[in-house]
Amino acid sequence: MSNKWMRLAAVLCLTTLMSTPALALKSQYKLSMVVGPNTAWGMGAQRFADLVKERTDGRINIKVYYSGALFAGHQTNEFTLLRQGVADFSLASTINWSPQVKELNLFSLPFFFSQPGSLDAVVHGKTGEQIFARLEQLGVQPLAWGENGYRQLTNSQRAIVKPDDLHDLKIRVVGSKLFIDTFQALGANPTAMPYSEALTALQQGVVDGQENPVAGVIVPYKLWQYGQNQLTVWNYVVDPLIYAVNGREWRAFPDDIKQAIRRSAEDAAQYQKALARVGLDDGAALAWLKEHDEVPDVTDPYAVLEENGVTITRLSDDQLAAFKAKVAPVVDQWTDTIGAKLVDTARTDQQQAR
Ligand code: X2X
């Protein structure tokens, strides 16, 4: 090849590499979900899909794949599948992405978000910005923050009032090893498994307990029917949800579609968070839903639990202190993994919001 042709070929190559080609729109996009449609989480995903369809005049059709259908139940593979484009969209808990994105373990640090409003302060503060930038770097475009909720402990054996009560209880957990470390430090016997297997394990008594949000998971899945008749309110972890889209696909969307998708995620997230918080906050969530003519099925999740024979144990500050002391070394160790700077930023975000 002559020099001239080689130069031309090189220029052509470079132009192709530099411009993001406009991909043809797909007839259907897939959104991955861990849980089912009758949860705040599932309803928040469906609302997003509906809004996107409406606001793009039907050009973007998103089908929600509930109950882990897209990743065959293996929820800790979700981030990888979204990155690869096996899923186009996702409404995901930070817990399930934490094995691949170590920064997301921040949200699973035990007793780090115990003050009301501290999660909002972090996700809408500098920390949230930095985490979104990190996800973008890794090939996933985040769109908005949702919320699964404060995770409470249930079991089939006894009331948990002090760490000793957890001794040898088999507790199902998911996510990164941080959860195993936390429950081992508390003296329990934790075992990691996806949610799709957890229900059977609870039913068969393979495990004694689990931890999940009351409105987000425990009530919609009627966990009392799986022997879970003890619940301890300890607010030890709160997991946010993230509306997100595969980065390559995002960059290829025209601007008007990008804008419609982003606004739909923000609006759906507000609705989703209100559903996740009904009956658990100071009344703001229910007021928001009423204002928007939305009628939630459950307005008092603790009352539903009690009606179904679940004993609720609320820990005092002194009782909580005993649990916090046990997990303090785990928090220190995982602060290094997450990045001490990010953990510090999250502390500052919380303090500034007070
Ligand atoms: O598996 C769980 O416990 C759940 C449903 O809460 C998550 O996906 C993190």
Does residue 287 fall inside a structural domain? Answer: yes
> Ligand 1 centre and the CA of 92: distance in Å?
9
Other Cβ atoms less than 10 A from the Cβ of 19: the count is 8
Residue 65 included in any domain: yes
pLDDT tens string, the chain, 354 residues long: the values are 556 665 655 555 554 444 455 568 999 999 999 999 999 999 999 999 999 999 999 999 999 999 999 988 899 999 999 999 999 999 999 999 999 999 999 999 999 997 888 999 999 999 999 999 999 999 999 999 999 999 999 999 999 999 999 999 999 999 999 999 999 999 999 999 999 999 999 999 999 999 999 999 999 999 999 999 999 999 999 999 999 999 999 999 999 999 999 999 999 999 999 999 999 999 999 999 999 999 898 999 999 999 999 999 999 999 999 999 999 999 999 999 999 999 999 999 999 988
Among 71, 96, 196, the mutation site with the greatest number of ligand 1 atoms within 8 A of its Cβ is 96
Whether residue 295 is contained in a domain is answered as yes
Choosing from 93, 171, 176, 214 the residue with most ligand 1 atoms within 8 A of its CB, the one to mutate for a pocket test is 93
Q: Return d(Cα 287, Cα 174) in angstroms, integer.
A: 33
Q: Is the CB of 92 under 6 A from ligand 1?
A: no
DSSP letter (8 states) at residue 67: T
Minimal-distance CA residue to ligand 1 atom 6: 212
Host domain of residue 329: 28-353
Q: How far is the CA of 136 from the centre of ligand 1 (A)?
A: 23
Number of domains in the chain: 1
* Rounded-to-integer distance, Cα 5 and Cα 93, Å: 52
Q: Is residue 323 part of a domain?
A: yes
Is 344 among the domain residues? yes
CA-194 nearest atom, ligand 1: 1
pLDDT of residue 22: 59
Q: Looking at the domain assignment, is residue 14 inside a domain?
A: no
Q: In terms of DSSP bridges, do strands 230-246 and 209-213 run parallel, antiparallel, or are they unpaired? A: unpaired
Mutate to test the pocket of ligand 1, among 90, 104, 148 (most ligand atoms within 8 A of CB): 148
Domain annotation covers residue 240: yes
Nearest Cα residue to 67 out of 96, 93, 33: 33
Q: What is the pLDDT of residue 284?
A: 96
- Is 2 part of a structural domain of the chain? no
262 vs 251: CA distance, rounded Å: 13
pTM of the shown model: 0.93
- Domain with residue 258: its CATH number is 3.40.190.170
Distance (Å, whole) CA 105 – CA 92: 14
- Ligand 1 atom showing the smallest separation from residue 195 Cα: 1
